[in-house]
Amino acid sequence: MFIVENYSLAILFCSITMLCWGSWANTQKLATGKWRYELFYWDYVWGIVLFAIISALTMGSTGDQGRGFIADIQQASVSNMTSAFIGGVIFNLANILLTSAISIAGMSVAFPIGIGIALILGVVVNYIGVQKGDPVLLFAGAFLITVAIVLNAVAYRKASSEAAQKASKKGIVLSIIAGVLMSFFYRFIAIAMDLENFVDPAPLKMTPYSAFVVFGIGILISNLFFNTIMMKKPLEGPPLTYKMYFSGRFSLHLIGIFGGAIWGLGNLFNLLAAGKAGPAISYGLGQGATLVAAVWGVLVWKEFKHAKTNVNGLLIGMFVCFIVGLAFIIRSGA
């Protein structure tokens, strides 16, 4: 199977993760107004699961290093598979709430708040689990990203009308809850893998490819529960039925599947990088997706197009803090 063998390649993979995790929500924006986000989310989940299976049967099953996917999944212990599965359940609940927040408050608000919180707490949780990297630089980077989140919140408050602020309070609350939940999912996947040796993993542990497949199954099965509730009792709009989902245009289904595949690519690369970078650094860099999403929201979707000059200054400060914070996190593992 394909394995990341040095820190430089691990950082490159984390950077790709950041781009993928910060960009998948654009597919949701493309479907907005044509396809309710609860229906979009089903296709997004299918995209993650299909990508996980395809990558396990290709990248995870070729070459002469490590255990192939089939052999690896057959020898994995129930406890490790359960851990990866629980990670999928936690991620799914968090991501449904984040997706809801994006539909209400926009990418440039929901992502910096939700994923920013997930980054800070997630770095702490994963560093406690595996203490890899310079803690001073690592947590200094996390602190600067906290400052960036605060600047983003202040900028949004100044740029938005009072009516818009009131309408999006629900989105901000959902983003906060999603961020707290999101900070824990990665640790459950990391527990299921042998992070010290992907070439010859310890018995009963899984490779990143197998762990990703089990994680994806956790997302899919929990979605039958979580998203069905969201469809019947939506946060906004009338209830939805599965008949509406199956009668949707093929092009709309493809948008969601593509979004899931983008997120899945980022997740796989992040898991592969964790062996060399450590889960705290790998996860922290990946969740720099907040910066990417904010760029999309500001420059492409024009979510701050009516902002005043002083608001633009806050946004510039946010980007600077994010970039310097990410640089600190990278340096912490060098």
CB atoms within 10 A of CB 239: 11
What residues does 262 pair with on adjacent strands?
Answer: none
Which residues, other chains included, contact 115 with Cβ-Cβ below 8 Å and sequence gap of 6+?
A: 21, 98, 179, 182, 287, 289, 290, 293
Q: 138 in helix, strand or coil?
A: helix
Q: 14 in helix, strand or coil?
A: helix
Distances (CA, A) of 179 to 18, 95, 170: 16, 9, 14
CB atoms within 10 A of CB 98: 25
Q: Pick from 12, 7, 31, 34: which is nearest to 258 by CA?
A: 31
Q: Could you state, in order of their start, the residue ranges of all structural domains in the chain?
A: 7-332
Q: Which two tokens stand for residue 184?
A: 């824990």
**DSSP for residue 65:** S
Q: What is the Cα–Cα distance from 319 to 181, expressed in whole angstroms?
A: 25
Distances (CA, A) of 58 to 67, 156, 213, 219, 285: 13, 44, 13, 21, 26
Q: Which two tokens stand for residue 153?
A: 């919140």
Q: What is the Cα–Cα distance from 213 to 220, expressed in whole angstroms?
A: 11
Question: What's the predicted TM-score (pTM) here?
Answer: 0.88
Per-position pLDDT tens, the chain of length 334: 899 999 999 999 999 999 998 898 889 888 888 999 899 999 999 999 999 999 999 999 988 788 999 999 999 999 999 999 999 999 999 989 987 887 777 666 777 788 778 888 989 999 998 888 899 999 999 889 888 877 877 777 677 655 555 556 788 888 899 999 999 999 999 999 999 889 888 999 999 999 999 999 999 999 999 999 999 998 778 999 999 999 999 999 999 999 999 999 999 999 999 999 999 899 888 887 777 877 787 777 776 776 666 788 888 898 899 889 988 988 998 6
183, 125 Cβ separation under 8 angstroms:
yes
